Structure 1
Amino acid sequence: MPLVTTKEMFRKAYEGGYAIGAFNVNNMEIIQGITEAGKEVNAPLILQVSSGARKYANHTYLVKLVEAAVEETNLPIALHLDHGDSFELCKACIDGGFTSVMIDGSKHPYEENIALTKKVVEYAHAHGVVVEGELGQLAGIEDDVNVSDEDASFTKPEQVYDFATRTGVDSLAIAIGTSHGAYKFKPGQKPQLRFDILAEIEKNLPNFPIVLHGASSVIPEYVKMINENGGKMPDAIGIPEDMLRQAARSAVCKINIDSDIRLAVTGTIRKYFNDNPSHFDPRQYLGPAREAVKDMVKHKILNVLGCDNKA
């Protein structure tokens, strides 16, 4: 089975009331952990690459690793560019084998966002690739994305139909209260997704796939594992999983998860070295890290996304 686009995935997800997990990948072990979990529960997957991951691991290596995962699992897997910030980057990924790209023009004025997104859509669609656009800005830090609380803004429901029809995007990332990174909320601040905004967006843009970025739950056990083994992470509050499950039952067809993967890997490796200070074989600590990713992804598929047995 070759790499696929998200078009059929999202159609089924919208109709079935579930979401597809979009998991950020940086190396072989993370890709293996995610796809082994997907295979065990028969779930479709989106493996997404940020510009930072592309710089770190090299475009060609990542594409070949994802293609190997498809061959090993025979799952429907889309390879997606996360937060592409320019036409040139999106074009390079389209030309280099990605089946989906995101063009994030949300930092630009509205009309400039439309013009940039439309340019990417025209090129992508001519090459059989689908495009995700973004309206509204999430606060937080993730790789090259850095938006302060002051600059963050909710998506305006009155703009979504105009944006989607004028650009031709295939899915739309919105801002309704999620946040990038592990430090999503200030101490004492209660996480809250604006389901009222989501309902208005659904009303104004019916039967259209919606995307949530910054949707890691910052699993406490991994934060605790890091801190008990030499780390100094402050208590972090992520998006409650029941809220994400509620979103997945609506028009939200894609939920992005990155920080939970990083925490699982880091916590497991820190614990391994604390328990085995003289070991130096990378296989000895990357193996358990891969298993931690696998367990976390299975949990997300079964308890949050609801896309098990949907491959």
Structure 2
Amino acid sequence: MSLTHTKFLLEHAQKHAYAVPAFNIHNLESVHCVLDTAKEMSSPVILAGTPSTYQYAGTAELVALVSAAARDRDMQVALHLDHHTSIDDIDTKIRAGIRSVMIDGSHESFVNNISITKRVVELCHRYGCSVEAELGQLVGQEDDLIIESVDEPYTDPMQAMEFASKTGIDSLAVAIGTAHGLYKSEPKLDFERLAAIAKVVSIPLVLHGASGVSADDVSRCVSMGITKVNVATELKIAYANTLKAVFENDPNVNDPRVYNIEAKKSMAQVIRQKIDICGSAGRL
């Protein structure tokens, strides 16, 4: 099956009050693990990659891998461009077959963010490609994206309404107190702000930085209108920590078909938990 966009997935989630989990993938093992677990739980799923992931894996190779994996599992899968900033890069990747894009102009001024995002929407919609954008900024690190501090960390509800109207985006990532990477202290989410945004913005809303946020808080966000939940760091940590333990227990192991078994099980556990929290199990 061909790769799909996320517009229909997120609108269905919005209508039925659940969220679609979006997992950042980096290699064959993570692709297989996410799809196998989602298939097992009958959950829609989004596979996401930052620019450095596509550079690492190769865009054409990653498109071919995910397309083949989805076809073999008889699944409809969205391969997503996460935190992309270059319009030329986005153009190249949608021509390669990708149909879900996040243009990140959140580091720009409000006016410039609108201008850049509108150009991406005009490009992507010609190809039937859905577009997510971000208003407000998350601190922290996700792959090569590093933001130590920001002047306007939260999404303003009235600006969100104007932004969605002027750009024509399909979904909006909101900043309500989450962060990329690991949290140094327990995150305090601004639920009142989320409620205010959901009241004036009709398109699906997205939560970035969900790794490390409590299950109760994520579930509450979903109940208040979040339709896509991004998970990256927790998946990487589960894989890496288990892999390290395998080598420590057996320094002589050298077959990736063997030493990846337990690491994949750890990733699957995280994926199951996130699917349960999002309420997306059984939605296919």
Give the share of equivalent positions with the same residue, in percent: 38
Q: What residue in structure 1 maps to residue 263 of structure 2?
A: 289
| Counterpart code for 1:13 | A
Note the alpha carbon deviations across 1:24-61, whole angstroms, 9 max, x for none: 11110000010000010001110011101011111111
Alignment of 1:35-74 (within 5 A): 35-74=35-74
Instruction: Return the offset for 1:152.
Output: 5.7
Aligned to 1:87: 87
| Cα gap change, 1:9 to 1:192, in 2 (>3 Å) | same
1:192 corresponding residue in structure 2: 188
For 2:7, give the aligned amino acid.
K
Q: Is the 8 A contact 2:137 2:150 kept in 1?
A: no
- Does residue 245 (structure 1) correspond to residue 241 (structure 2)? The answer is no
How many residue pairs match? The answer is 284
Once residues 41 and 100 of structure 2 are traced to their aligned partners in structure 1, the CA distance between those partners, rounded to angstroms, is 23
Contact 1:50 1:143 in 2 (8 A): yes
Matched, 1:118 2:145: no
Deviation at 1:292?
1.8
Q: Report the counterpart of residue 269 of structure 1 in structure 2.
A: 243
- Report the equivalent of 2:77: 77
SS in 1 for 2:230: strand
Taking the aligned partners of 1:280 and 1:105, their CA distance within structure 2 comes to 43
Partner of 1:141: helix, strand, or coil? strand
Q: Give the drift of 1:250.
A: 2.2
SS of residue in 1 equivalent to 2:281: coil
1:106 corresponding residue in structure 2: 106
Give yes or no for contact 1:117–1:133 (8 Å, CA) kept in 2.
Answer: yes
**Counterparts of 2:249 and 2:151 in 1: how far apart (Å)?**
43
Task: Write the deviation string for residues 196-254 of structure 1: whole angstroms up to 9, x where unpaired.
Answer: 11011011113x200111111xxxxxxxxxxxxxxxxxxxxx21111001111221110
Q: Which residue in 2 is equivalent to 1:220? A: none
Cα distance per residue 1:131-160 (max 9 Å; x no partner): 001100001011121111344610111101
Contact 1:90–1:102 (CA<8 Å) still a contact in 2? Answer: no
Letter in 2 for 1:197: R
Partner of 1:215: 210
Q: Distance in 2 between matches of 1:39 and 1:161?
A: 35
Output one character per residue of 1:233-280: Cα deviation in whole Å (capped at 9) or x when no partner.
Answer: xxxxx2111100111122111000000110111111011011101112
TM-score by length of 1: 0.89
1:280 counterpart residue number = 254
Q: Distance in 2 between matches of 1:69 and 1:297?
A: 17
Q: 1:29 to 1:190 in 2, by over 3 A?
A: closer
TM-score normalised per structure 2: 0.97
Q: Which runs of 5+ in 1 are unaligned?
A: 217-237
Q: What amino acid sits opposite 1:28 in the alignment?
A: L
Please give the alpha-carbon distance, in whole angstroms, between the structure 2 residues aligned to 1:297 and 1:20: 12
What is the Cα-based RMSD across aligned positions, in Å?
1.2
Q: How many angstroms apart in 2 are the aligned matches of 1:84 and 1:78?
A: 16
Q: Which amino acid aligns with 2:74?
A: N
